[in-house]
Chains A and B, each alone.
Chain A
Amino acid sequence: MESMASNMQNTVEQNAGASPSTPLLDIRGLTVEFPGRRGNLVAARDVSLALAKGEILGVVGESGAGKSTIANAVIGLLDPPGRMASGEVYLAGRRIDALRLPAMRAIRGRRIGMIFQDPLTSLDPLQTIEAQLLETITAHLGMTESAAQRRAVELLDAVGIPEPSARIKQYPHQFSGGMRQRAVIALSLCAQPEVLLADEPTTALDVSIQSQILDLMRQLVRERALGMLIITHDIGVISEIADRVAVMYCGAVVETGATAQVLARPAHAYTKSLIAAIPRPDRKTARFRLVQQHATVESTARRLDVKTHWLGQRRSFDGDGDGDGDGDSGVDSSNASNAALVELENLCMRFTTVPSVFKSRRRYLDAVDDVSFSIRRGEVFGLVGESGSGKSTIGRLICGIHAPHAGRIRFAGVPLDARGSRRALNRLRRQMQMVFQDPFSSLNGRMRVRDIVAEPIRFHRMAEGAQLRAIVLDLLDYVGLGGAAAPRFPHEFSGGQRQRISIARALATRPRFLVCDEPTSALDVSIQAQILNLLKDLQQELGLTMLFISHDLPVIRQMCDRVGVMKSGRLREVNDTETLFTAPRHEYTRHLLDLMPKLDILSGDGGDGDNPN
């Protein structure tokens, strides 16, 4: 009854002009359910959030925590069969969750603007930026064509697009990723909304563009006195932009408060461990802290004595013990064993972007342009760069997925090229393996886990029968998954578990060189910490040499001994990790380091004293 009365009160206040104490957007006790075949899934549980004018409220949490559900519920766009089971949403004191569709449409876009993750899919590729802006402006504000046109140009100018009157005539594909996100922001501002909902607005963007977009959003919110709800999984984004932050876990808000306070002195156990799990950009730590709330899989892992196990029997690879050599490894490998395992010399790789029968008409993209470096035995070499810098291509060139256009790769002193016999090449291949980025596409969904892991061993005829089965189970134990996983299919596992299967498969041929291509960028922070710890342990126990490819500087700092910085296909700088982070030589490296989200306010030393485990 009392809440009813206060609702009435709010309505009255709204009619009389909202009082300063009324929050701009007020979410009270919101519960969202997805009824389904296997019972109700509660995506958000009793969530209460309040957003004031000119304030940026960050909602942070891992995937599946219910962050996006809240934004969708606010604008009444829950995916069916989802529905609001209880709770109320107020916009400037007026209740909006029970509105009918036409009334809701008048609020969507008009009073609440939306910014989505992927700027490519939130713009219509077949319409010019102008057409899309004009459509929204005339639909919501009822302006004349010429007034709307003037306003559209002003908006593009306001979001920092140079030469707005010329660029407005262009199509989305003529804009770069960052420009597109600016255009999306302009689009969301068209109707002069009071509230902006931004769902992972910078996740698809490179670091340098991310910081520009965050700056722009902060500036717009301040200038126009908007309220902004920003949803992200990235604590770095939160610490840069949000005034207040709400931490979500399993559909519930576990902690709310001023950003500085929550990040520096988290009160809830989940927040504490989440913050502790973030890779530190400022110094190197021995191991990543784990998020406590999750049932840690590692406790079930049976430790193997690698020295006596099959996995440890890798002597046959090394130069002098090469019993099965049939003369093709002509270069003396013992000679090379003192330093470099993998050497790249003037490597070039170009992709044909415009194919043509005529040579002169073809267009190429130099993905890798004259790159030379070497990876020493037993070290972790990091490659860092923005998307499109060619770092993944280098990993694929080494593993033989692509053939280089020019230059050569040597592995243990033996040049890798297609001219060698297939058998000889296969023996080298078996010594290098790859761990991929996307755990959802890197496993064949039609094969059982045991067959996925066994396939490389079978193919290289390294073991068979009962021994093979035992090895597969041991491998699954070793990566912390347990033998019970063997008869199951990949879709029954979470992203982190799949990445463990992927690692088990990579280890199956007893490689001595492992290429990790963004192995954790698709994973949540807590899972990332587990996987990175696992990779570190493996590297040390098995004496692996690793090429670690990532765009994430803090992760690179924690994982790598030496780092190479890539930009537009060229290697800009190679140096020891510590030197590179403390005294970068190349201008571009300094630029990248500057853009790294500052996490200085994070709670002291990773919550060392707070987590007894």
Chain B
Amino acid sequence: MARFLDSDLWWDFKHSPLVMTSAAITALMFLVALFAPQVAPYDPFDMASIDLLDALRPPAWAEGGSVAYLFGTDDQGRDVFSTILYGSRISLLVGFLSVIMAMLIGVLVGLIAGYKGGWLDAVLMRIADIQLSFPAILVALLIDGVVRGILPRGAHEELAVLVLIVAIGLSFWVQFARTVRGSTLVERTKEYVLAAQVTGLPDTLIVFRHILPNVMGPVLVIATIQLALAIIIEATLSFLGVGVPPTSPSLGTLIRIGNDYLFSGEWWITVFPGLALIVLVLAVNFLGDWLRDALNPKLR
């Protein structure tokens, strides 16, 4: 811990107000999402507490607004503030798990390709190239569509979140694989790896104990930036109607629902979830950018 407090990374962090603000916002949104049932004033999915008479109320400060509904209510009388809290929960869950999945696949593929080289490297990287020639959202749409076709109608509603995680995860591994492969190619020729080979360590041990820790730096940076991207993709898919169902809406679903009311004057239903999404993605992106620069000794 003392080592961390003394490190250049921490020093850098403390001297950048933008980064500290971003970190604070990210942390706040995480906590709020995690403890949504405790923090939110209403449970928007509890049918008993929803009153249709409260539908389409404007935000608290606007005319006709009520202090009870800070950001107003949607067409079914659900509190927009509460739906945002519950919605960011789904968004962050999908974002996190899909990036972790992409990271696991990508790091493994990258390590194998970079360390083994030869035809295996060539095959793996050509697969990566092919996938990279499709936009990530298209790949995610494709996977989502295929799964929808396979699964029975009812099952999809329940598994929607899982399907989304797999779809986004499978469309994101290439970035990780390429970066890890590149770093592995460099690390593989370093003398500490040769020393391990001379000792007779088996390849798996060399790869996981020696190379992996040394290529993780850039991976964490990509993971942060990809997290923001994954949240956006999830929102896009949900906005297009192929994501999570409206019964357990994510931020993207909320924006889509509100979109229908945008031109009839009920702007708050879509604007507040949109703002929440922007703030979250921006904060995570700033963190990722900073991490990339801070971990790159050439930019110091």
Binds A, one of B168-176, B198-206, B285-293: B198-206
Which of chain A's residues have a CB closer than 8 A to the CB of B63?
A: none
Binds B, one of A24-32, A331-339, A443-451: A443-451
A418 CB to closest chain B CB, in angstroms? 13
Residue of B nearest to A451 (CB): B209
Please report whether the interface of chain B is mostly helix, strand, loop or mixed according to DSSP: helix
Q: Is A505 a contact partner of B214 (Cβ separation < 8 A)? A: no
Complex: A502 Cα to B199 Cα, angstroms: 13
Complex: A455 Cα to B202 Cα, angstroms: 13
Q: Is B198 a contact partner of A400 (Cβ separation < 8 A)? A: yes
Residue A95 interfacial (CB < 8 Å):
no
With A444-B210, A445-B214, A446-B214: A401-B190 Cβ-Cβ less than 8 Å:
no
Q: Is B192 a contact partner of A425 (Cβ separation < 8 A)? A: no
With A37-B11, A444-B214: A434-B198 Cβ-Cβ less than 8 Å:
yes
Q: Is B214 a contact partner of A433 (Cβ separation < 8 A)? A: no
Complex: A472 Cα to B196 Cα, angstroms: 17
B140 CB to closest chain A CB, in angstroms? 34
The digit string for B135-153, where 1 denotes a CB below 8 A from any CB of A, is 0000000000000000000
B191-237, CB < 8 A from A: 191-192, 194-201, 205, 210, 213-214
Residue A46 interfacial (CB < 8 Å):
no
Q: Is A509 a contact partner of B210 (Cβ separation < 8 A)? A: no
Complex: A502 Cα to B190 Cα, angstroms: 14
- What are 25 A-B residue pairs whose CB atoms fall within 8 Å in the complex? A37-B11, A396-B194, A399-B197, A399-B198, A426-B200, A432-B198, A433-B198, A433-B199, A434-B194, A434-B195, A438-B191, A441-B190, A441-B191, A442-B190, A442-B195, A443-B192, A444-B214, A446-B213, A446-B214, A447-B210, A447-B213, A455-B196, A459-B200, A459-B201, A459-B205
Task: Give the A-B pair count, Cβ closer than 8 A.
Answer: 61
A407-456, CB < 8 A from B: 425-426, 429-430, 432-434, 436-438, 441-447, 455-456
Which of chain B's residues have a CB closer than 8 A to the CB of A509?
A: 199
A351 CB to closest chain B CB, in angstroms? 13
Of the listed residues B8, B194, B205, the one surrounded by the most CB atoms of chain A closer than 10 A to its CB is: B194
Complex: A446 Cα to B38 Cα, angstroms: 41
A495 CB to closest chain B CB, in angstroms? 13
Which of chain B's residues have a CB closer than 8 A to the CB of A447?
A: 210, 213
Q: Is A430 a contact partner of B192 (Cβ separation < 8 A)? A: no
Complex: A447 Cα to B194 Cα, angstroms: 16
A414 CB to closest chain B CB, in angstroms? 15
Complex: A536 Cα to B45 Cα, angstroms: 78
Q: Is B198 a contact partner of A437 (Cβ separation < 8 A)? A: no
Complex: A399 Cα to B194 Cα, angstroms: 10
Complex: A443 Cα to B195 Cα, angstroms: 8
Which of chain B's residues have a CB closer than 8 A to the CB of A443?
A: 192
Residue of A nearest to B211 (CB): A444
B125 CB to closest chain A CB, in angstroms? 15
The digit string for B156-196, where 1 denotes a CB below 8 A from any CB of A, is 00000000000000000000000000000000001110111
B2 CB to closest chain A CB, in angstroms? 12
Q: Is B200 a contact partner of A425 (Cβ separation < 8 A)? A: yes
A441 CB to closest chain B CB, in angstroms? 4
Which of chain B's residues have a CB closer than 8 A to the CB of A434?
A: 194-195, 198
Question: What 19 new A-B contacts, CB under 8 Å, besides A434-B198, A438-B191, A459-B199?
Answer: A396-B194, A400-B198, A401-B194, A433-B199, A434-B194, A436-B194, A437-B191, A441-B192, A442-B190, A444-B213, A446-B214, A447-B210, A447-B213, A455-B199, A455-B201, A459-B201, A459-B205, A506-B195, A509-B199
B221-257, CB < 8 A from A: none
Complex: A411 Cα to B292 Cα, angstroms: 48
Which of chain B's residues have a CB closer than 8 A to the CB of A399?
A: 197-198
Which of chain B's residues have a CB closer than 8 A to the CB of A437?
A: 191
Which of chain A's residues have a CB closer than 8 A to the CB of B213?
A: 444, 446-447
Which of chain A's residues have a CB closer than 8 A to the CB of B192?
A: 441-444
Residue of A nearest to B210 (CB): A444
Which of chain B's residues have a CB closer than 8 A to the CB of A442?
A: 190-192, 194-195
Complex: A158 Cα to B196 Cα, angstroms: 50
Q: Tell which of A425, A430, A436 touches B191, judged by Cβ atoms closer than 8 Å.
A: A436
Q: Is A429 a contact partner of B191 (Cβ separation < 8 A)? A: no
Which of chain A's residues have a CB closer than 8 A to the CB of B210?
A: 444, 447
With A37-B11, A444-B214: A429-B190 Cβ-Cβ less than 8 Å:
no
A155-205, CB < 8 A from B: none
B8-43, CB < 8 A from A: 8, 11
With A437-B191, A438-B191, A441-B190: A401-B197 Cβ-Cβ less than 8 Å:
yes
Which of chain B's residues have a CB closer than 8 A to the CB of A401?
A: 194, 197-198
Which of chain A's residues have a CB closer than 8 A to the CB of B198?
A: 399-401, 429, 432-434
Which of chain B's residues have a CB closer than 8 A to the CB of A425?
A: 200
Which of chain A's residues have a CB closer than 8 A to the CB of B196?
A: 455
A480-532, CB < 8 A from B: 502, 505-506, 509
Q: Is A430 a contact partner of B200 (Cβ separation < 8 A)? A: yes
B119 CB to closest chain A CB, in angstroms? 11
Complex: A455 Cα to B210 Cα, angstroms: 11
Complex: A447 Cα to B210 Cα, angstroms: 8
A591 CB to closest chain B CB, in angstroms? 31
